[in-house]
Amino acid sequence: MGLVSPDYGTIFWMVLAFSVVFFILKKFAWGPVLKMLKEREQSIDNALLSASEAREGLSRLQAEHDRMMQEAHGERELLIAEARQIREQLINKAREEAAIENERLLEHARRQIESEKLSAMSEIRQQVATLSVDIAEKILKKELADRSKQESLIKEQLSDLKLN
Amino acid sequence: MKRWMYFTWILLLMVTSGGPLLAFSGEGQNEPNEAPKKFDAGKFIMEHVMDSHEWHIMKIGQTEISIPLPVILYTKEKGLSVFLSSKFHHGTKPYNGYMLAEEGPHEGKIVQANTNGTINETAPMPFDISITKTVAAMLVSLLLLLLVFLPMAKKYSKNTDKAPTGFQALIEPVILFVRDDIAIPSIGLHRYEKFMPFLLTAFFFILTNNLMGLIPIPPGGANVTGNIAITALLAVFTFAITTFSTNKNYWKHIFDAPGVPWWLKFPIPLMPFIELLGVFTKPLVLCIRLFANILAGHFIALSFIVMIFIFGQIHWIAGYGSSVVAILFYVFMTMLELLVAFIQAYVFTLLSAIYFGMAKVEEHH
């Protein structure tokens, strides 16, 4: 058996045994093992990916939360400001209304007073007139009881008329 | 103190380990009336690295201890004959018209014998597909592969999505190494998968045989990957797979390499010739590299052992003394061979993968 001359018996067994083992291993070992390794790697990749996704989602949620808080804060400020404004407005309005009402009442009172005054004046005037006429009547009655006095009055009156 | 004792024990072991070797070789104590047989170091080494019809374990005194292997022969006249090689009595006796040729052009092979026990020179050589030492060791390695990988694969399909445990954890990084560092970079991500079974089988086959070759007792110690038939066939497999997965561009690059001046191709097809030669030298180199590396490893390791016998022939004290140095060197060589076992398996697989990768030449250039 030469050292560098291949022996056909060895070749025969090598081809046979190696092929058999190769196909057995290919079918029952390498195939499942490589498939499993690939699947495991994929599942690890997926797990890592979903973890990072979850982390991202969490940070997104956090950001959302922060944003909402900020918004709520802003809204509260706004609401408070608005309420303050409304209060201010209301107070102002009430104040204005009160002033107007006041004015109106005053005016009314004034007018009442005026009209009361007028009616009182006219009553007084009437009273005075009646009184004057009564007094004049009484005076005339007393004056004209004497004949001469009637005549002098007529004369006086007549002279007045002439002058006119 | 403890360490000192440890060293003493090792030294003692080294010195005495030469003793049995000397005794077993039969050279240490020759009977006075028998002419001392000269120890042939070259023959001793060659017998160990070469294929044979029996698996030699050791020789105590004059008794050979070896595992007989099945002999399967076929000749037209005698038909098929199957028997154990122990029938030859270590090559001393003919059996059933066959005998082991001890010398001559067919040394170590089974030839047809004459009735008087000499080689029948005129008869044709029998068709011999015996389970020789190399074949037996190879079968053991292949069986080992099956025993390791089939249960492991079962484990994979059973515990899906679980971290590897036990032996699986030892092998898995190697599989991943073959895939991620050999196959994918050499062949490419989209094509590597169909070559993986061969690459893995070749890698573990070579590795197992290399490692088994380092174990000095059967079922180890045979020189499987240092046998030219085995390495040649592995190379032929690589060559066949490469050739069957080629594309048009590959052949275009060989016969009409682009970017090469036309006068290198036209009247004398120099470049095509060289390129075509390259197609065959690649697997040839694969075959020779593995064969030579492993064979050389066995040669060197055995040479150190042989040193003990040679010195022992001069004087028994020299034999014991040299055993210390020889064993030290032997241990060192075995460590080196351990490394070589991995490197050669890696190199063979890597180069195969590179050739597979080159079989499909991309269009751009």
Q: In the predicted model, is pLDDT for residue A41 greater than 70? A: yes
User: What residues contact residue B69 under an 8 Å CB cut-off, 6+ apart?
Assistant: B53, B54, B55, B84, B85, B130, B131, B132, B133, B136
Q: What pLDDT score was predicted for residue A164?
A: 58
Partner B contacted by A12 (CB < 8 A): yes
Q: What's the pLDDT tens digit per position in A25-36?
A: 999 989 888 888
| Positions in chain B whose pLDDT score sits under 70 | 1, 14-38, 61, 160-161, 363-365
Partner B contacted by A117 (CB < 8 A): no
Contact B245, B359 (CB under 8 A): yes
Categorize the per-residue pLDDT at A2 as very low, low, confident or very high, splitting at 50, 70 and 90: low
Number of domains comprising chain B: 2
Residue type, B195: F
3-state secondary structure of B38: coil
User: What residues contact residue B192 under an 8 Å CB cut-off, 6+ apart?
Assistant: B179, B183, B184, B186, B353
Residues B338, B276, single domain; the answer is yes
CA distance A54 to chain B (A): 21
**Among B307, B302, B301, which Cα is nearest to B325's?**
B307
3-state secondary structure of B126: coil
Q: Which 3-state string (H, E, C) describes chain A? A: CCCCCCCHHHHHHHHHHHHHHHHHHHHHHHHHHHHHHHHHHHHHHHHHHHHHHHHHHHHHHHHHHHHHHHHHHHHHHHHHHHHHHHHHHHHHHHHHHHHHHHHHHHHHHHHHHHHHHHHHHHHHHHHHHHHHHHHHHHHHHHHCCCHHHHHHHHHHHHHHHHHC
Residues B82, B162, single domain; the answer is no
- Give residues 15 to 34 of A whose Cβ lies within 8 Å of B: 15, 17-18, 21-22, 24-26, 28-34
Residues of B in contact with A12 (CB under 8 A): 129
Residues B80, B148, single domain; the answer is no
Residues B79, B162, single domain; the answer is no
B349: in domain: yes
CA distance A17 to chain B (A): 7
Q: What pLDDT score was predicted for residue B1?
A: 60
Average pLDDT over every residue of A80-99: 93
Pick the last residue of a domain from B93, B128, B163. B128
B46: in domain: no
A58: in domain: yes
Q: What pLDDT score was predicted for residue B339?
A: 94
Token representation of residue B116: 């008087």
Q: What pLDDT score was predicted for residue B29?
A: 43
Domain boundaries, position B210: 133-359
Number of domains comprising chain A: 1
Residues B123, B139, single domain; the answer is no
User: What residues contact residue B98 under an 8 Å CB cut-off, 6+ apart?
Assistant: B71, B73, B81, B110, B111, B112, B113, B126
Residues B255, B115, single domain; the answer is no
For A10, the closest of B176, B197, B229 (CB atoms) is B229
Q: What's the pLDDT tens digit per position in A116-144?
A: 888 988 888 888 888 888 888 888 777 77
**Rounded CA separation B363/B357 (Å):** 14
Token representation of residue B125: 């050589």
B2: in domain: no
Q: What pLDDT score was predicted for residue B158?
A: 78
User: What residues contact residue B39 under an 8 Å CB cut-off, 6+ apart?
Assistant: B25, B27, B309, B310, B313
Q: What pLDDT score was predicted for residue B34?
A: 45
A2: in domain: no
For A29, the closest of B153, B161, B205 (CB atoms) is B153
Residues B276, B310, single domain; the answer is yes
Pick the last residue of a domain from B128, B147, B175. B128
Token representation of residue B332: 């060192």
Contact B311, B318 (CB under 8 A): yes
Q: What pLDDT score was predicted for residue B68?
A: 85
Residue type, B267: P
**Among B330, B95, B345, B347, which Cα is nearest to B224's?**
B345
Categorize the per-residue pLDDT at A151 as very low, low, confident or very high, splitting at 50, 70 and 90: confident
B232: in domain: yes
Q: What pLDDT score was predicted for residue B15?
A: 67
Contact B145, B204 (CB under 8 A): yes
Contact B358, B239 (CB under 8 A): no
Pick the last residue of a domain from B128, B144, B173. B128
Residues B241, B334, single domain; the answer is yes
**Rounded CA separation B66/B221 (Å):** 13
Q: What pLDDT score was predicted for residue B22?
A: 52
Residues of B in contact with A25 (CB under 8 A): 145-146, 149-150, 197, 200-201
**Rounded CA separation B52/A15 (Å):** 19
Residues B184, B76, single domain; the answer is no
Q: What pLDDT score was predicted for residue B291?
A: 93
- CA angle (A36, B197, B133) in 5-degree steps: 125
| Whether A37 and B153 lie within 8 Å, measured CB to CB | no
B193: in domain: yes
